[in-house]
Structure 1
Amino acid sequence: MKEIISDTYSWDILDDFISSLDPVAGEYTLAHNPSIPRILSGLFGYEPQYRKYVDDGTGRMAGFMNGVVIKGRFVSMPHFSYGGAACADPAVAMQIERSVSGEYEIRSFHPSSEYYSDKKVTAYLDLSGGHDSIFPGLKYNVRRQIRIASENGIEVKRGKSELLDDFLKVYRKNMTRLGSPPQPKRFFAALLDGWEHGEATIFCSYYKGKPVGGCFLLSFGGIIENCWAGTLYEYNKLFVPYLAYSEMIKYAIDSGYKVFSFGRSSKGEGTLGFKKHWKPEIKQLYFNQSGPVTGGLRDKKTLLSVYKKIMPQWANVLVGSAVTKYIY
């Protein structure tokens, strides 16, 4: 198999290849959108890299992997849950990922290195059966909470840049509560302005005119994913997330997407339990590395606990602007 590495790509060739793959089976993901390396390069100065794999016998494209180079290290894909090889055959995908030389981090559905972290999973909801395959099968209590949220006066709006500030009000407060630096406003603005071959859209939930929930979605091919989300904790009693996800899933079905991805979660996390209410397929993620996996700052529980207690939101926003280039 021939590997071709470039800092540019041909959308016509890639479009034909991606269209031949099944997103429900995980043969490609949101992170295979080739506009991502370009956007991240403009934001953080990373070096875009596109890797095309061609079958020696047929001359046809057999795989595709995009990413960025950060200080000599190939990363596929920073700031996103996935990366790795887009390919119809999982065995070939693993072969491609294992062929990468030098230092790397490859996030995929395959354990393609002896060094990997498997702490994260994602949740895929198959939309191919339409509305009738999703909502009637939900448990009574879930349907009830969707209805109560509506009766409580929760309003869900969909938009783009006009909703960004409202989304950030919720997102920043939620990230501060969790003890994590938030992505800066310029990150989301760049995605809204520069996302190609799909859509970037925001869903915001309101109670009496106040934004109390926010979700930032991206799509590529047959996949749409809720990539960044949050709800103001004090409004959870109004069942805000239930109505928001109901509206997002309906939108995804009506727009013709094949997969609604809830995004990644840590195993055993409360948010994963919420996602399971919608009966998605839980898919294991592997963060493969070229060398032994070391715990990041987010794995230091004592430090995280102190950070959460002492860091005001305004300062956390400033920290996020300074460090998210390096914490991905």
Structure 2
Amino acid sequence: MKDANNLDSLKLREDQLKARKGELSRLIGEAKKNGSDAGELIVEMGVVSAEFKEVTGKIKDFKKAQRQQVGQSSDVLSDGPPDKAKQAEKLQQIVEEVSSAPQILGLAVKAFRVVEVDAEPGLRASWEEYVDQHLQASPYHKLWVKSFVESVYGHPCRFICALDESNRVVGILPLTQLNSRLFGNFIVSAPYFNYGGILADSKQVAQMLLADAVRWRDQVGASHIELRHLTTSNLGLPQRTEKLTFWLALPEREEELWLSFKPKIRAQIKRPQKEGAEITIGGAELLNDFYAVFARNMRDLGTPVYGKNFFHGFLSSYGESARVVIGRLNKTVVACAIVIGYGRRMEIPWASTLQEANSSGINMLMYWEILKFSIHQKYQIFDFGRCTEGSGTYKFKQQWGATPVRLHWDYGLAEGRDAPKLNPDNPKFKLVIAVWKRLPVWLTNTVGPLLVKYLP
């Protein structure tokens, strides 16, 4: 117990020092940019960096001693004690590299104009190349989202990019307007998905993109712009950070991941296998099975469901890197998910299990099969999708050993407007949710898609 407490103390101090290093780096950059004296900050950075190196060294030594004490061999592929040290180091390196990278780079880059992506020949290819090279990019920054949203829901989209004096793309911002009498008029980057917002080479470029978005907001009479950033943008906008996701670093072999799980998790995965549970991973041919489970589960949660055409359009627009997963228990489909891969990351934006099947543990088996699939497809990070801290979903994702990553959503509010509260936790929706849970599935499948197209 004492050893565990010592390790926890070291990890806590490591996190504190890492956070301070990031803050000092930002302050030094700002001081240099403003022509201010950064001497004291640089001195403190040296002290903090030295202590950080000392603490990380102690953690490595501590873990090495633990492994030697246990006598664990990395060649053992059984239910023995997992070698978590290597996995933890990889988690720190890979997850931190992506999740802490700046949304807006600190380069000395200026934008000379902002244009829509379809305004000039060749910009679409330049847009895609820019997104692919940016560490904070998500699949929802890509241009397929524009054609998908326009074709499925007909919402107005403005995908704008900033160009420098040589017409090189130095920043992008995908925008979609949602306008309805029931939920209001607002702009989102990007609706329906967890990520979006500005990608830019400098703060000046980001401010130009934001200014163009604000002009469109005021032109169409929208109440706000919602920018779904992963990390803080430092744009000085009102921000919400209550939502999180979980990222799990994936090893090269599934056996390594299996050994990293606690015995309780491994037992929960094995149990449904003994009951004849089966998991299938495929394409659009599984969509009907997926939708039958997903639509019913959304009704049970009191949430309007997307139409089947939404998912069909999603799969058609994105291509082979999006896969459908279904879980059968006694030959009956009771669990489902859709996963999407981009860059180094596999994400699970939608997943459901029928309530009566929860006790079987088939959702544990389904997630394990998806994690295995992700490893075989050579992805390095698994993204469990967003949730609210402390919720049941939060605890389910946390148990896999994943790292919580806090989301930063910025709001460009029109004058006199407050940040929106379009979420199921809003007390004014409690009665509606309670009624929705009691409606027949055929009715929620008819009415739900008409509502959810205007919900971000």
- 1:193 CA drift (Å): 1.7
Q: Whole-Å Cα distance in 2 between the matches of residues 119 and 309 of structure 1?
A: 26
Q: Which amino acid aligns with 1:312?
A: P
State the partner residue of 2:351.
229
- Please show how residues 14-53 of structure 1 align to structure 2 within 5 Å: 14-22=127-135, 27-53=136-162
1:240 aligns with 2:362: yes
Secondary structure of the residue that 2:384 maps to in structure 1? strand
Distance 1:7 1:319, change over 3 A: farther
1:295 aligns with 2:421: yes
State the partner residue of 1:140.
263
State the partner residue of 1:207.
329
Conserved in 2, the CA contact under 8 Å of 1:30 and 1:223? no
Conserved in 2, the CA contact under 8 Å of 1:28 and 1:87? no
Conserved in 1, the CA contact under 8 Å of 2:117 and 2:127? no
Instruction: Choose 29-38 or 306-315, whichever is displaced more.
Output: 306-315
- 1:97 CA drift (Å): 6.7
State the partner residue of 2:126.
13
Unaligned runs of 5+ in 1: none
State the partner residue of 1:264.
386
- 1:124 CA drift (Å): 1.8
1:82 aligns with 2:82: no
* Bigger strand share: 1
1:27-75 deviation digits (Å, cap 9, x = unpaired): 112312220121011111112322223456x865333322323458542
- 1:271 CA drift (Å): 0.9
Q: Which amino acid aligns with 2:115?
A: I
State the partner residue of 1:64.
172
Alignment RMSD: 2.6
State the partner residue of 1:322.
450
Q: Whole-Å Cα distance in 2 between the matches of residues 45 and 305 of structure 1?
A: 27
Q: Percent same amino acid among aligned pairs?
A: 24
Distance 1:97 1:169, change over 3 A: same
Q: Which amino acid aligns with 1:270?
A: G
Secondary structure of the residue that 1:310 maps to in structure 2? coil
- 1:138 CA drift (Å): 1.1
- 1:4 CA drift (Å): 3.0
Higher Cα Rg, which structure: 2
Unaligned runs of 5+ in 2: 1-109, 180-184, 218-224
Q: Which amino acid aligns with 1:5?
A: V
TM-score (norm: length of structure 1)? 0.87
Conserved in 2, the CA contact under 8 Å of 1:30 and 1:225? no
Q: Whole-Å Cα distance in 2 between the matches of residues 174 and 280 of structure 1?
A: 25
1:193-241 deviation digits (Å, cap 9, x = unpaired): 2225x62210000011110100012233333211111001111111111
Q: Which amino acid aligns with 2:398?
A: K
2:434 is matched with which residue: 281, 301, 306?
A: 306
- 1:15 CA drift (Å): 4.1
- 1:276 CA drift (Å): 0.9
1:72-119 deviation digits (Å, cap 9, x = unpaired): 854210111111123578x67965775442431111122645333323
Distance 1:192 1:133, change over 3 A: same
